[in-house]
Amino acid sequence: QVQLVQSGAEVKKPGSSVKVSCKASGVTSSSYTITWVRQAPGQGLEWMGRIIPILGVPDYAQQFQGRFTITADESTSTAYMELSSLRSDDTAVYYCARSGIMAAFDFWGQGTQVTVSS
């Protein structure tokens, strides 16, 4: 069974950066894709970007290009997302998810709360 475990909640100051990890286990294929999704308080789901760890090349939603970086360490089956120049409206829960059959997001991490506050 695939399991994605994310790092813990973070509280950050405006202008700083945050890096969230997502460790995968139980994945049998080496060419899986990890996607990052954001959910602001009381809001819907927003696709941020994706990476295939074995290739290491990320894709980003246009609105996240520039401040958002996805990386992966294939040796530890861990994906990372880093958001820089944090603003108060970056306060959200950040999820990682795996793309499975028909590219549906079939397994999700538990989510990481990032709070940006002075």
Partner 1 sequence: QAVLTQPPSVSGAPGQTVTISCTGSSSNIGAGYDVHWYQQLPGTAPKLLIYGNTNRPSGVPDRFSGSKSGTSASLAIAGLHTEDEADYYCQSFDSGLNVYYVFGTGTKVTVL
- Contact call for residue 44 and partner 1 (CB under 8 A): yes
- Contact call for residue 33 and partner 1 (CB under 8 A): no
Query: Which of 110, 115, 116, 118 lies at the binding interface for partner 1 (CB under 8 A)?
Result: 110
**Helix or strand holding residue 49 (H, E):** strand 45-51
Bridge partner list, 33: 99
- Contact call for residue 111 and partner 1 (CB under 8 A): yes
Nearer CB in complex with partner 1: 75/102: 102
Kindly indicate which of the ranges 11-19, 21-29, 37-45, 73-81 contains the residues binding partner 1, using the contact rule CB under 8 A. Answer: 37-45
Query: Which of 62, 75, 89, 118 lies at the binding interface for partner 1 (CB under 8 A)?
Result: 62
> Backbone phi, then psi, for 63, in 5-degree steps?
-70, -10
Sequence-distant (6+) residues with CB within 8 A of 46 are 37, 38, 39, 40, 61
Lookup result for tokens 């813990």: 8
Bridge partner list, 81: 20, 70
Q: Which positions touch partner 1 (CB under 8 A)?
A: 35, 37, 44-47, 50, 59, 61-63, 95, 97, 100-106, 108-111
